[in-house]
Structure 1
Amino acid sequence: MTAVVVLRLPLDSDLSGFVALLQRLRVPHRVAEEGGEQVLWVPGQELAEQVRELYARHPQGDAAGELPPSVVPVREGFATQLRRSPVTALVLLATFIVFAVTLAGENFSTIRWLSFVDFRLDGEHIYLTYLDATLGSGQWWRLITPMLIHFGWLHLAMNSLWYWELGRRIEFRQGAIGLLGLTLLFGLASNFAQYWWAGPSLFGGLSGVLYGLLGHCWIYQRLAPNAAYRLPPGVLVMMLAWLLICMTGIFELLQFGAIANAAHVGGLLTGCLTGLLGGMLARRTI
């Protein structure tokens, strides 16, 4: 669903009260400076008309604390969310396709074409090449494709759910190109971080990208508060606590498999940096 302009107001107009009202009503919206004006967008023409009517009656927001009776929180259907989040959906579709062709991470003959470095199997032993040899043969796609590899259904389910949650937020706030660029950047940064820390190894998954998206929303929201990046209470604490638990090595000790902790940290730090830059640029945005 395309974004529709609801209002264009001078920069000195105070929209904070009305934006707070939209946030309480859970109305998806975006406000930014454009051409020397404040511009308010919402997804869809029907919602735009409702918001214009709401602004006509309550331009300063809901100072009395009573919600307008004709306005209710917006609940979008799954199909509508898919149309409004094409990049989020396409990244997940690519992930599902790779999961299928790699047989849930069991088909190593396919995985070797998507891993960060090439490798060969000899019985139960795996022999990995170094990155310079891999890139020297022109296989540049490997810098990104490990984010599409998942080992098992639980690995896929957890990463897919979080990408769906965080990706849609960023795609609405910063657009499809913005989300695509951040996804590729965080994938690249997390893959390089894991290789730098552990050397040639077999790893994969969207989790490094997810920590990048998390860090981006976290810092961006601190500098330029907005409804899209306001995460549910406890999510940040839970994700950071999970990162610290993984870094203790407990899962390797219990033989649950190795965790690409450097990829998580690399993604998180890169996301915090992009959130800092994006938030600073958005400080002029309401």
Structure 2
Amino acid sequence: MYFVYQFQQAEDPKGLTEALWRHKIAHQIVLNKAHNELWIMDPQQLPTVKSLFELWQQDPILVQKAHFEPVATSLHSGERGLLSQVRSAPVTSIVLVLTVLVALLTQLGGDLNSVGYFSISPLEIRNGQIYFFTLSQVVDKHEYWRFFSPALLHFSVLHIVFNTLWIWDIGGKLERILGSFVWSLGVVIIAVLSNVLQYYISGYPLFGGLSGVVYGLIGFAWLLPLLDKHWPTLISQQLMAFFMVWLAVGYTPLPEMLGLGGIANTAHTIGLLSGITLAVVYGLLTRLIARNTHPQ
């Protein structure tokens, strides 16, 4: 993150921050010893930020009507839509491509031999029975990727469509705000915790999906605006209520009755709790970094 400006106590950054979000400039307003500070993610957007800032200083109302061509697209004026979103959220795009490739390779879970490469435990099929390993045995085999790879497994079209759409939407927005490194670290933490605890509690390795990560991102994006009023609202209260209801439904026989199969409820719950915890940690760390970078 890059420091831009420290507001005076009498200055309200609300109008400026609304203009920045309208121009798709990822930023944060951090409270540092009674003063709000403006930080941005991408220094290449600094010219646009400065233009908006100068206009805001002249007239906070006029800045709402301002429009500047984003620097990120000025080099490729014909680049729009999907390609532009892929460039701005590359890790999100990579995760989705890998998810689709794994779905094709495993035939949506229909090819158990292929599934065994990505499940949390190697699978051995002998005499019609599935044999698998404990977590400690997986560690002994040094197959550490298995703690993450079940997130790439999906077992139905509805399953993969639901998860990839939310990863593309909420995950892409968070990557643009947080930056690719921080976003990737959060996704890995959420996926590993969800997968490991799901296996530890259920004792069965045939599960998978990005649902735990989806719930983690939802929890993260929902809580941060409550911790920091300047953080953008990505998850409405109604949408959060829907996810909570669906989480509760997952603990009932209803999904199987509807033909959706069993749901890895532990992974969903752990994912949600992990995302909420990461939101708290992230909020505290960004404030601490801001204070240490610009002490009063």
Q: TM class by shorter-chain length?
A: 0.7 to 0.9
Task: Label 1:53 to 1:108 Cα distance change in 2 as closer, same or farther (>3 A).
Answer: same
C-alpha displacement of 1:111: 0.7
Aligned-partner residue type, residue 248 of structure 2: L
Aligned length: 278
Contact 2:223 2:279 in 1 (8 A): yes
Which blocks of at least 5 consecutive residues in structure 1 are unaligned?
Answer: none
**Counterpart residue number, 1:132:** 136
Give 2:28's aligned residue: 31
Instruction: Compute the RMSD of aligned alpha carbons.
Output: 3.3
2:256–2:262 contact (8 Å) kept in structure 1: yes
Distance in 1, Cα, partners of 2:259 & 2:97: 30
Q: 1:101-144: per-residue Cα shift (whole Å, max 9, x none)?
A: 11222111111111011222346543333222232222221111
Instruction: Tell me the secondary structure at the aligned position of residue 28 of structure 1.
Output: coil
**What's the counterpart of residue 41 of structure 1?**
40
Q: Secondary structure at the match of 2:262?
A: coil
The aligned counterpart of 2:166 is 162
Match of 2:125 in 1: 121
Shift of 1:274: 0.7
Cα distance change of structure 1 residues 60 and 173 upon mapping to structure 2, 3 Å threshold: farther
CA distance in 2 between counterparts of 1:227 and 1:60 reads 24
Contact 1:30 1:40 in 2 (8 A): yes
Contact kept, 8 Å, 2:27 with 2:177, in 1: the verdict is yes
Structure 2, unpaired ranges of 5+: 74-79, 291-296
Distance 1:26 1:8, change over 3 A: closer
* Aligned counterpart in structure 2 of residue 142 of structure 1, from 140, 143, 146: 146
Deviation (angstroms), 1:234: 2.0
Work out whether residues 166 and 214 of structure 2, in 8 Å CA contact, stay in contact via their aligned partners in 1.
Answer: yes
Q: What is residue 82 of structure 1 aligned with on the other side? A: 86
Percent identity of paired positions between Structure 1 and Structure 2: 26
Distance 1:83 1:231, change over 3 A: same
Of 240, 262, 266 in structure 2, the residue corresponding to residue 262 of structure 1 is 266
> Of residues 91, 100, 103 in structure 1, which corresponds to 2:104?
100
Equivalent of residue 203 in structure 2, options 199, 203, 217: 199
TM-score by length of 2: 0.80
Cα distance 1:86–1:113, how it changes in 2: closer, same or farther (>3 A)? same
Compared with structure 1, are the counterparts of its residues 143 and 54 closer, same or farther at alpha carbon in structure 2 (3 Å cutoff)?
closer
Q: What residue identity is the alignment partner of 2:56?
A: H
1:279 to 262, 283, 290: 283
User: Which of 4, 12, 35 is the aligned partner of 1:8?
Assistant: 4
- 1:58 is aligned to 56
* 1:161 counterpart SS class: helix
Task: Give the C-alpha shift of residue 273 in structure 1.
Answer: 0.7
Give SS of 2:57's match. coil
Go from structure 1 to structure 2 and tell me whether the alpha carbon gap of 1:134 and 1:53 turns closer, same or farther (over 3 Å shift): closer
Q: Is the 8 A contact 1:213 1:271 kept in 2?
A: yes
Match of residue 176, structure 1, among 157, 176, 180: 180
- Taking the aligned partners of 2:248 and 2:123, their CA distance within structure 1 comes to 30
Alignment TM-score, normalising by the size of structure 1: 0.83
Aligned pair in 2 of structure 1 residues 24, 269: CA closer, same or farther (>3 Å)?
closer
Contact map agreement 2:153 2:208 (CA 8 A) in 1? yes
The alignment status of 1:17 with 2:14, answered yes or no, reads yes
Distance (Å, rounded) in 2 between the aligned partners of 1:53 and 1:270: 38
CA distance 1:125–1:186, change in 2 (3 Å): same
Q: Is the 8 A contact 1:251 1:257 kept in 2?
A: yes
**CA separation of 1:217 and 1:49: change in aligned 2, threshold 3 A:** same
